[in-house]
Chains A and B, each alone.
Chain A
């Protein structure tokens, strides 16, 4: 049985705790190590490691733990918006006691190479079960799409409602399906005249809308080819 590590590097803990809700399904597939289960160890190897929370790049302790997990894990998954695209922590600006130097929080991919990134605040935990199935070759026909999308997201440094507006809605690619509106965990999107509109003061930069949008996902998947001039 494969080994799975779950580690939070200073997020709100909402992601690791929501993963507990699917622990029985996970334990049918992998052996789980986490702080919540009391069996955490960073001195052994893992097949899969899930990191939640973003990287405070001003705290050596955090960046060294992330590097260590990368060394120990064959496959590294950034789980949740903070870990995958920065999320709410992109707004952090430091200056707060007792550690005012904790200023900049970035996605895990800013520190190490990440294999798959799943945005969501928090993501529906069954996504993790599905991703593991896909990685183990048991995810069915959607596996390839699933894996290629989330590995592409791992290359993005930010995804948010602002990007959805810029890249899809305002550039005329939007088909008005409303998937983004339904997916937004902050209810920051609503339909106006058949197209989504962003209420900017509600957007927490979680990126959920972008990975739910049928057009944005295609854009993400094709961007490497597009940037090489191949269409």
Chain B
């Protein structure tokens, strides 16, 4: 058995690989990041604090946590944002999705090409461009402060919105050119060949192509369990130390994320492991086009946030398609609108079983590729409580 500290992923995790004659027989994905415990941290707090806090669960998919949280809180207090607020919020989420996909591409690039920094520096330039757009629409490149319960705090001016559309068009062209050059350079690499040859296509779960829809998901059949419970008795001792949990849907593992979204809501079909990355790279131009449409629908003269916020007793669920897949926030508010219970289920929890299963049969030297192609997010994955108890 070989223990590897995973590099070039979001967060701290170890991958235990059991190989026989150089072929992987079994693998264990063990996250080692400490549990900051945001659900516990939120008890007794105001929903306004909850939004600021949950965005800091993750520095990669902050908007996703923010949006899932405000959706849940809005349901609990019975409000809806005005159209401007909804459009700006969806655009904010998608800019974050593009940013996350570009970041992941940077982490994956060294697997695909012998890079002298040329492609990576172009990717960094793209990362800076998308981060500037997030700054304009969300108020910051990370943890956007404009996101608010009831909509968004403010909108850019009309001229600024027009410039954003121009920047987005340039960004899309540059992304497509990087994708083309990367794939040309990667042609013939062992990693690409391995990923293309390995067939792995489990059942999918996704609720929406661009945003998230809680009515496309049956909360009653989402179940989470301790990692070592999921792996059973014969798992090595290290499994007990894992700081993440595993989520199942109808008692089975399901894949969430870009490939699930495109397979369920578009005519995308790629059953190889490379299909995960192909879908991710397909989502970037699609998201750019969608954000342009959303920005064009924003009317800066109309309100972007509902004025009537009354915090009171209630329950709500927010479901959002984060960069890595379906993200669920559940909230219960007490009599003064303070949080009495908060639960978060994140996409990486759904995908952990696949990172392990898809490894089987691969050469041991290639095993690290599988978690990386699934793009796990450990800061998120350590924030799941057991579901099934009251909320």
The interface of chain A, by Cβ under 8 A from chain B, is 8, 10-18, 20-21, 23-24, 27, 35-38, 40, 56, 58-59, 61-62, 87-89, 91-100, 102, 105, 121-122, 184-188, 199, 201-202, 204
A36 touches B34 (CB 8 A): no
Q: Which of B8, B40, B121, B131 sits near A35, CB closer than 8 Å?
A: B8
| Residues of B in contact with A, size category | 35 or more
B60 touches A93 (CB 8 A): no
Is B351 among interface residues, defined by CB-CB distance under 8 A? no
A121 touches B243 (CB 8 A): no
Q: Identify whether the interface residues of A are mostly helix, strand, loop, or mixed.
A: loop
- Chain A residues lying within 8 Å of B87, measured Cβ to Cβ, are none
Tally inter-chain residue pairs, CB-CB below 8 A: 154
A97 touches B245 (CB 8 A): yes
Closest approach, in angstroms, between the C-beta of B237 and any C-beta of chain A?
Answer: 15
Is B49 among interface residues, defined by CB-CB distance under 8 A? yes
Stretch of B68-76, B137-145, B250-258 on the interface side:
B137-145
Q: Which of B60, B244, B385 sits near A14, CB closer than 8 Å?
A: B60
| Known pairs A13-B60, A61-B32, A185-B140; A98 contacts B243 (CB<8 A) | yes
Q: Which of B12, B36, B226 sits near A98, CB closer than 8 Å?
A: B226
Closest approach, in angstroms, between the C-beta of A28 and any C-beta of chain B?
Answer: 12
A18 touches B124 (CB 8 A): no
- Chain B residues lying within 8 Å of A18, measured Cβ to Cβ, are 59, 141-142
A99 to B244, CA, bound (A): 9
B40 touches A95 (CB 8 A): yes
Closest approach, in angstroms, between the C-beta of A183 and any C-beta of chain B?
Answer: 11
- 23 chain-A/chain-B pairs, Cβ below 8 angstroms: A10-B36, A11-B379, A12-B58, A13-B10, A13-B58, A13-B60, A14-B59, A17-B60, A18-B141, A20-B124, A27-B117, A37-B110, A56-B36, A62-B34, A88-B56, A92-B37, A92-B41, A94-B40, A96-B37, A99-B35, A186-B143, A186-B145, A202-B48
A105 to B386, CA, bound (A): 23
A98 touches B37 (CB 8 A): no
